[in-house]
Amino acid sequence: MTDAAPALARFWDSIRAEDPSLPVDVPGAWAFGATPAHADALLSLVLAGVKTGTASSLWDYDETGDPVPHLGELSIILDGSGAPRAVIETTDLRTVPFDQVTAEHAHSEGEGDRTLAYWRESHERYWRTHSENARGFAHDMPIICERFRLIHPA
């Protein structure tokens, strides 16, 4: 058991006390972004109801061996310090090449001016800097476009 596991279990138990229909098992926990400051900024967009989508590189999942998101998946979202702050549920998934991500999806991510141009520039920079695989970035790389809803705080 990691140091974070007891805090995650306590957090999940408190969420389940509000909604006992949720599963007993503690969902996976992760933070948006690659730095603590980025995690906090993106979490604030989620909590404000602005960010309802995210994108990830399928190549990064291939590299790390982490399971890819699935419909109905619950996730505990961590802040930049690693503390659990929110729970989301995946409501839609589409895997498309980077250059085919839609303006609608870019808008759902809630970042910058919410345009596709901003999304492409910022995400290309992100994957060139923080990719977890040797391929890094390509305009045709497979991107998992995920939509979610905020479960907690409701």
Average pLDDT over residues 71-99: 98
C-alpha closest to that of 99 among 131, 121, 68, 114: 121
Say what the pLDDT of residue 1 is.
42
Q: Cα–Cα distances in Å, from 110 out to 46, 92, 114?
A: 8, 16, 6
| pLDDT at residue 20 is higher than 80 | yes
Confidence of residue 2 (pLDDT cuts 50, 70, 90): low
- Sequence-distant (≥ 6) Cβ neighbours of residue 98 within 8 angstroms: 120, 123, 124, 137, 138, 139, 140, 141, 142, 143
| pLDDT at residue 38 is higher than 50 | yes
| pLDDT at residue 146 is higher than 80 | yes
DSSP state of 118: H
Q: Please tell me whether the overall predicted TM-score, pTM, comes out greater than 0.75 for this model.
A: yes
The residue among 56 and 4 whose pLDDT is bigger is: 56
pLDDT digits (tens, 9 = 90+) for 113-137: 999 999 999 999 999 999 999 998 9
| pLDDT at residue 85 is higher than 80 | yes
Kindly list the structural domains of the chain, giving each domain's residue range(s) and its CATH number in brackets, ordered by start: 4-152 (3.10.400.10)
| pLDDT at residue 3 is higher than 90 | no
Task: Give the helix/strand (H/E) hosting 124.
Answer: helix 116-130
